[in-house]
């Protein structure tokens, strides 16, 4: 990894064009040839960059970074303030927990979160437009209930960390499809998420989809250690 502090201007020509006026910035050149241009503030996102695979050509006062698609990052160097190089080796990588996948595991293991007597049919229930996160069966409590052949009503559950309108649309597509299957219909919908955007809730309820806000930490407290990812 090469670190360069330099006064430079930068032009990107690719999916869009972007220009950075002359100023002092950090340039990071990684082992795979990728280049980051960072200012001393803002966020983790560089002002400009080129992702690998790409090649760096150095000339007099100009660096040109090109990728396979022909996109170019052109760095015009006015003055190099500082430079150093380091061998970091390969990184062992990141271990994550808490994402949607784990929510799905936890909710499948605690399907009663959605109501007493709920039974898991399966996780990742396949449909032609993609897998439904969880398919479950709700119990029937009376003869008037709108029950399916299984003796209960099927429930398709869409799980999101944060649910927006797109989650409602996605679940709606699943429900349209599943309800065409006489062995499953009628299938109800549940949107389960840590956070549900107000517009998403409105749209969901308008379509008869139940909204359930789930508490990840609480679910996690209920789980047994074997369900933990690390």
Partner DNA sequence: CATTGCAGGTGGAAT
Partner DNA sequence: ATTCCACGTGCAATG
Nearest to 139 by CA among 115, 157, 107: 115
Determine, following the binding rule CB under 7 A, whether residue 51 of this chain makes contact with DNA.
yes
Per partner kind, with CB cut-offs from 5 to 8 A, the member of its own copies, DNA, none near residue 20 is its own copies
By CB under 7 A, the count of residues binding DNA is 34
Per partner kind, with CB cut-offs from 5 to 8 A, the member of DNA, its own copies, none near residue 21 is its own copies
Can you give the length of the chain in residues? Answer: 230
Pick from 107, 118, 136, 170 the residue near DNA by CB under 7 A.
170
DSSP 186: S
Pick from 16, 88, 90, 143 the residue near DNA by CB under 7 A.
16
Nearest to 52 by CA among 76, 75, 28: 28
d(CA 212, CA 218): 14
Calculate Rg over the CA atoms of the chain. 26
Least spacing, CB of residue 86 vs DNA, in Å: 20
Report the residue number, 51 or 104, with the smaller CB distance to its own copies.
51
From residue 46, give the alpha-carbon distance in Å to each of 35, 69, 89. Answer: 10, 20, 22
The answer to whether residues 52 and 32 touch, using CB atoms and an 8 Å cutoff, is yes
Pick from 53, 61, 117, 130 the residue near DNA by CB under 7 A.
130
74-103 binders of DNA (CB under 7 A):
96, 98-101
Please give the residue ranges that form the binding site for DNA (CB under 7 A): 12, 14-16, 18, 42-46, 48-51, 67, 71, 73, 96, 98-101, 129-130, 160-162, 164-165, 170, 197-200
């Amino acid at each position: 990894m090469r670190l360069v502090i330099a006064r430079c201007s930068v032009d990107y020509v690719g999916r869009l064009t972007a220009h950075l006026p002359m100023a002092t910035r950090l340039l990071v050149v990684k082992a795979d040839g990728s280049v980051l241009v960072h200012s001393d503030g803002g966020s983790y996102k560089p002002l400009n960059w080129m992702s690998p695979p790409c090649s760096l050509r150095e000339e007099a006062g100009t660096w040109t970074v090109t990728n396979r698609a022909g996109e170019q990052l052109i760095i015009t160097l006015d003055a190099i303030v500082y430079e150093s190089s380091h061998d970091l080796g390969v990184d062992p990588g990141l271990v994550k927990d808490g994402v949607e996948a784990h929510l799905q595991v936890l909710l499948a293991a605690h399907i009663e979160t959605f109501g007493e007597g709920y039974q898991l049919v399966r996780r990742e229930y396949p449909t032609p437009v993609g897998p439904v996160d969880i398919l479950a069966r709700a119990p029937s409590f009376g003869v008037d209930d709108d029950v399916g052949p299984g003796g209960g009503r099927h429930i398709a559950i869409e799980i999101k960390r944060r649910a927006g309108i797109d989650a409602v649309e996605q679940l709606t597509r699943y429900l349209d499809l599943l309800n065409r299957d006489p062995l499953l219909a009628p299938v109800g919908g549940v949107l389960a998420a840590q956070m549900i955007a107000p517009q998403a809730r409105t749209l969901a309820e308008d379509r008869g989809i139940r909204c359930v806000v789930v508490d990840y930490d609480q679910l996690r407290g209920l789980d047994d250690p074997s369900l933990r990812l690390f």
